[in-house]
Amino acid sequence: MLLRIPQVLTLEQVDQCRALLRQANWQDGKATAGPQAARVKNNHQVPADSPEAQQMAALIIQALQNNPLFMSAALPSKILPPKFSCYQNGQAYGAHVDNTVMRIESGEALRADVSATLFLTQPEEYQGGELIIHDSFGEQQIKLAAGDLLIYPSGSLHQVAPVTSGVRLVAFFWIQSLVRSAEQRRTLYELDGLAQQLRGELTAEHAGLTKLSGIYQNLLRQWMDS
């Protein structure tokens, strides 16, 4: 499921992140890519252990945990600390699929079920730089407003088009979900959305709403990783 989640960060929080990015040191993005991805990756990233990266990551994770739409769609078990990248002067990231296993600084291995890109620059601030995702509906080219988040299955083939002018700043990260199947996550997300809609139309004691909630919980119990 490819989903846009608007205003995960406020514009004030975006400005806070951009101020920290101006202070940060940058390194070649190939340093954090696997052997195959490094062949097609051309960008710069903030070192994950830098104070700026850690401060921004904490801000973003807090915002995610307070966002009901993200929690419903991703069903996060663990959120890997966000990383931060910059594209300019023709930089791009060729077609690739994200690694299945991601490791955090402690060495713990996490499964990447959901990939996420949080936009930190407005679309009009740069030319090119579209996030291109190849899915069952064809090729999706995406540029979102600053503060908006895009999530999509980590098994998707995707790329970043060359940035021909301006600067593209994003945070990107992965989620290990309680439910590893993208199809099952979509079903649960749609059920949860229907329940939210009906709560605005029916009384809390309505039998249909109670039954729907029970179906959701039992499917989640059946599908979630033990």
| Bind-site residues for 2-oxoglutarate | 168
Q: What is the separation of C-alpha 195 from the centre of its chain, rounded to a whole number of angstroms?
A: 24
Per the annotation, binding residues for Fe cation are 96, 98, 158
Per the annotation, binding residues are 96, 98, 158, 168
* Backbone conformation region of residue 137, classed left if phi is above 0, alpha if psi is from -120 to 50, else beta: alpha
CB atoms within 10 A of CB 167: 16
CB 163 within 8 A of CB 182: no
- Alpha-carbon gap, residue 77 to 94, rounded angstroms: 29
Q: What is the separation of C-alpha 79 from the centre of its chain, rounded to a whole number of angstroms?
A: 10
Burial (CB count <10 Å: 0-12, 13-18, 19+), residue 142: middle
- Alpha-carbon gap, residue 182 to 188, rounded angstroms: 10
